Amino acid sequence: MSTPTLYLPRDSRLHHLHPLTKLALIGLAIVAGATLPVTLWVIAVYLLILMPLAAWGKVLPAFLRSSLLLIWPFALSLTLIQGFFAPGEHILLQLGPLSLKLEGIQLAADYTARILVWLSAVILLMLITRPDQLMLALTERGLPRQIGYIILTALQIIPRFQQRAETILDSQRARGLETEGNLVKRLRALVPLVAPLILSSILELDERAIALEARGFTRAGPRTSLTTLKDTAPQSAFRWLSLIVMLLLILARAAGWMTA
Amino acid sequence: MIRLERFSFTYPGEDQPALSDLSFEVPAGQFYGLVGPNGAGKSTLCYALAGMIPHYFKGTLSGSLTVAEIDIAQSSLGELAGTIGLVFQNPFNQISGSRFSVRGEVALGLENLGVPRDQITDQVDETLEQSGLADLGERSPFALSGGQQQRLAIASILVMQPAVLILDEPTSQLDPVGTSEVYALLHQLVGQHETTVLIAEHKLERLAEFTDNVLVLNQGRLLANGPPKTVLTDPLIEEIGVQPTRYTQAARQARARGLILKKDEFPLTLQDAQEFFDDAAV
Amino acid sequence: MLRFESVHFTYPGGVEALIDLSLSIEQGERIALVGENGAGKSTLAKHMNGLLKPGRGRVLVNGEDTRRKTVAQLAHIVGYVFQNPDEQLFSNTVQDEVAFGPRNLGFSPQEVEEMVRSALEAVGLQAAASEHPYDLLPAQRKLLGIASVYAMDTPVLVLDEPTMGLDLHGTRMVSSLLADCFSAGKTVILISHDLDFCAEHVERYIIMADGAVQLDAGIDSAFDDPGLLERAGLEPPQLARLARALGIQETPGTVVDFLAMWEKHRRRRSS
């Protein structure tokens, strides 16, 4: 069974960066995507920063595939909604009472570009960072261990949850449960499907908690770690610099220093 | 190493105790089996020995239970971790879920104990080797077969070098291949370690292979405590609802039908049974 | 009754689970479907009630192509007991849980009541009829899961690991339930690693490995090929091993069979 992480192990310099440094890079791209005033500049973040980074990390094909696969539903729906319903003067196409306007298309392009940068920045982070290392870095910096644990576990348990839901569905259908048909039929089918999922998951959680207890999960006292994260002074400096740039971008945007 | 004196435990809201007036001792380094029908209290006893009772599951206790000189009731789960290990039926539910490699999973317990990193690396490597998981170290724990996952669960406990290892039907959800894998690992343990082991198991043929002694539990009470060959061939076992080996059943039936007259000791294993029937044939 | 004609099945991930599998099962047969986890047993069984439809080839249930039937329709013919009862039980009482299947099949309230009663009796849970399923012991939940499908009174019953986690008492309940099925002429298919149990009940072994049937035989030749058994992750049942160790030519299923064979063997040796 696979885990729902995108992480691709590659021997690249980017992979070997400290997880917080990668997080800073991605944070920078996200803030830039939100604050840059010109659509073209936002697209440039994708083309000239994120794509080269992905290539450097030897994950470019997966990066392009995932980011383009995820963006098209946004692109399509934004174009339709903004194109037809945003106010504007330049009518490109008239369909009965509806008119497709240039201003709307431009707006849709702008939103799409920003969403593309956000989504693909997160995808890139996931492609090049092992989730447990990222969590380790965050807990070292003060994130409560329990929260890190919950996030990581959720990542790995979700596919199992899906699998169990499928088994439950199979087992009820085998007992003649009709899952197709009108709404009433389908609603009635919900209880036999959801109840065992919840009940069996509670049983499982109890066991998992016991297994963790037996391995000292709630023990008081200092902890150590098998993996150490390599950090360097330049990386630390870069993270501070990124933080300043992010703050400057936000400030500039808020104060109206940057305009299209 | 394990000592119970008149130990009883009752779950909240129940009238009948789940464990009733248990007294027995398991000497250090011994391998003990635990059998009994469903609902006899085997899992409850395993939980009590590992301190999950009363520290995770609450209830009413009486008598005393000490493991490795620790009074369980006065201790805490944090203190017990690393001293008493617990492995149970479902291998999947014992995976922490927070580690993305088998190596990381095995290391988790030691990290929680605050063991220095160099020492973790050494102990993890050694344990992976011992449990036959060395080649799978970088795999996701979720990508393993049931047998491999159960070996991983055992390795994750063994790495902490516990004085006592409690296993609650560790192979009941595995196929024969997985079961053999787990037993091969346990076999190794018997020779190499001074670990004291108590295993609940209903596959009596497996227990016969290497337990020093077997405890029989029924309705929360200890019915018998003795060497496997005596205890597991006793008709009492079948009366309380434990499936004897087919060897024992065949021999006892042969005797009951008068096909065999002289024998009073019934066979437990294939080898015993072969001798039993060969002797009778002459 | 059930017919597989050159069935191929590949899971969406690309795993080929069944490869050109042909098989025919007649009414009233008692079958053990055995092999290692991942050999394709469950995939095969899920084709019998239409939970899975063949990628290529066809599966006929009572002469009808499963592709033209819904699972709910096929549930009238093939009952399927899943391995883990906790992935099925949802009702507030034991009797409601057992009534779920028969109700779905459209039986009248009186019929349902009767079916529930006899199914609970078959697994010894009459006294627990009004209890909540989750207040039962795990072993009792297992029996409840079996009863809830047995109650549907289908001509074919598939049971996935019916004895897992059961003690002698529970195993005997399953045995007597199977005996009822046999005397009613039902087709029973056990998917099980518990070959000692299978040997006491079935007459035909379908041994699977790598998505194909490796051997389809009676007990006399099912355990002859050590290489195949190794590949299928199987160990012969205890009595079969004992008979072989004693030099007995036949293979016993039950203790009674064994003793008869041993007597014959002993007489032959002494004469």
pLDDT digits (tens, 9 = 90+) for A147-185: 888 888 888 778 888 888 999 999 999 999 987 777 787
Tell me the pLDDT tens digit for each residue of A88-134.
888 888 888 888 889 999 999 999 999 999 999 999 999 999 888 89
Please report the beta strands in A79-153, taking only residues with DSSP state E, as ranges in sequence order: 91-95, 98-101
Cβ contacts of A243 within 8 Å, gap of 6 or more:
A24
Task: Please tell me if residue B260 touches chain C, with a CB cutoff of 8 Å.
Answer: no
d(CA A104, CA A110): 10
Q: Do C233 and B176 touch (CB under 8 A)?
A: yes
* pLDDT score for A201: 85
* pLDDT score for A52: 95
d(CA A81, CA A102): 13
Report yes or no on B268 lying in a domain: yes
User: In chain B, which residues have their Cβ closer than 8 Å to the Cβ of A223?
Assistant: 111-112, 114
**Tens-level pLDDT at each residue, chain B (282 residues):** 999 999 999 999 999 999 999 999 999 999 999 999 999 999 999 999 999 999 999 999 999 999 999 999 999 998 899 899 999 998 889 998 888 899 999 999 999 999 999 999 999 999 999 899 999 998 989 888 888 999 999 999 999 999 999 999 999 888 888 888 888 888 888 777 688 999 999 899 999 988 999 999 999 999 999 999 999 999 999 999 999 999 999 999 999 988 887 767 899 999 999 999 988 765
Residue that the structure tokens 């516990």 belong to: B162
For residues B216 and B249, membership in a common domain is answered with no
d(CA B125, CA B135): 11
For residues B165 and B265, membership in a common domain is answered with no
**Least CB–CB distance from C239: residue in B38, B241, B250:** B250
User: Does residue A226 contact residue B120 with C-beta atoms inside 8 Å?
Assistant: yes
* pLDDT score for A172: 94
What percent of chain A has a predicted confidence (pLDDT) above 90? 48
Does the structure's ipTM exceed the value 0.90?
yes
User: Could you list the residue range(s) of the whole structural domain that residue B276 is in?
Assistant: 245-282
One-letter identity of residue B185: L
Task: Please tell me if residue B119 touches chain C, with a CB cutoff of 8 Å.
Answer: no
Closest among A77, A124, A142, A195 to C96, alpha carbons compared: A195
Q: Is the pLDDT of residue A1 over 50?
A: no
d(CA C270, CA B281): 8
**Least CB–CB distance from B270: residue in C167, C170, C241:** C241
For residues B137 and B52, membership in a common domain is answered with yes
Interface of B with A in 56-85 (CB under 8 A): 56, 77-79, 81-82, 84-85
Report yes or no on B136 lying in a domain: yes
Residues of chain C with pLDDT below 50 are: none
Task: Please tell me if residue B219 touches chain C, with a CB cutoff of 8 Å.
Answer: no
Q: How many domains does chain B have?
A: 2
* pLDDT score for B204: 93
User: Does residue B44 contact residue B219 with C-beta atoms inside 8 Å?
Assistant: no
Q: Do C87 and A192 touch (CB under 8 A)?
A: no
* pLDDT score for A4: 58
Task: Please tell me if residue A148 touches chain B, with a CB cutoff of 8 Å.
Answer: yes
d(CA A252, CA A35): 8
Q: Do A153 and B96 touch (CB under 8 A)?
A: yes
Closest among B249, B227, B223, B225 to B238, alpha carbons compared: B249
List the CATH number of the domain containing B105.
3.40.50.300
Closest among B97, B101, B90 to B150, alpha carbons compared: B90
Mean residue pLDDT of chain C comes to 94
Report yes or no on B233 lying in a domain: no
Closest among C271, C80, C265 to C190, alpha carbons compared: C80
Cβ atoms < 10 Å from Cβ of A178: 17
**Least CB–CB distance from C51: residue in A173, A191, A195:** A173
User: Does residue B91 contact residue B153 with C-beta atoms inside 8 Å?
Assistant: yes
* pLDDT score for A3: 54
Q: Higher confidence at residue A4 or residue A32?
A: A32
Q: Is the pLDDT of residue A221 over 90?
A: no
d(CA C245, CA B267): 14
Q: Do A211 and B94 touch (CB under 8 A)?
A: yes
Query: Helix or strand or coil: residue C151?
Result: coil
Q: Do A152 and B97 touch (CB under 8 A)?
A: yes
Tell me the pLDDT tens digit for each residue of A43-58.
999 999 999 999 999 9
For residues B50 and B180, membership in a common domain is answered with yes
Residue C175 to residues B95, B280, C122, C153, C172: CA-CA distances in angstroms?
35, 31, 10, 17, 5
Q: Do A219 and B111 touch (CB under 8 A)?
A: no
Interface of C with B in 98-117 (CB under 8 A): none
Domain residue extents for chain C: 27-53+70-235, 237-271
**Least CB–CB distance from C242: residue in B37, B257, B274:** B274
User: In chain C, which residues have their Cβ closer than 8 Å to the Cβ of A196?
Assistant: 86-90
One-letter identity of residue A46: Y
Instruction: Give exposure, A35-61, as e/b (b: 16+ Cβ within 10 Å).
Output: bbeebebbbbbbeebbbebbeebbbbe
**Least CB–CB distance from A130: residue in B92, B100, B157:** B100
For residues B256 and B224, membership in a common domain is answered with no
User: In chain A, which residues have their Cβ closer than 8 Å to the Cβ of C49?
Assistant: 174
* pLDDT score for B193: 67
* pLDDT score for B242: 96
Report yes or no on B236 lying in a domain: no
For residues B262 and B151, membership in a common domain is answered with no
| Fold exhibited by the domain C27-53+70-235 | Rossmann fold (3.40.50)
| Best residue in A175, A185, A204, A205 for a mutation probing chain C (most C CBs within 10 Å) | A175
Query: Helix or strand or coil: residue C219?
Result: helix
Please report the beta strands in chain B, taking only residues with DSSP state E, as ranges in sequence order: 2-10, 19-26, 31-35, 60-67, 70-71, 84-87, 164-168, 196-200, 213-218, 221-226
Report the half-sphere exposure of B243 (CA within 13 A, side-chain side): 23
List residues of A whose CB lies inside 8 A of any C CB. Answer: 164, 167-168, 170-178, 180, 191-192, 195-196, 199-200, 203
Report yes or no on B280 lying in a domain: yes
* pLDDT score for C216: 96
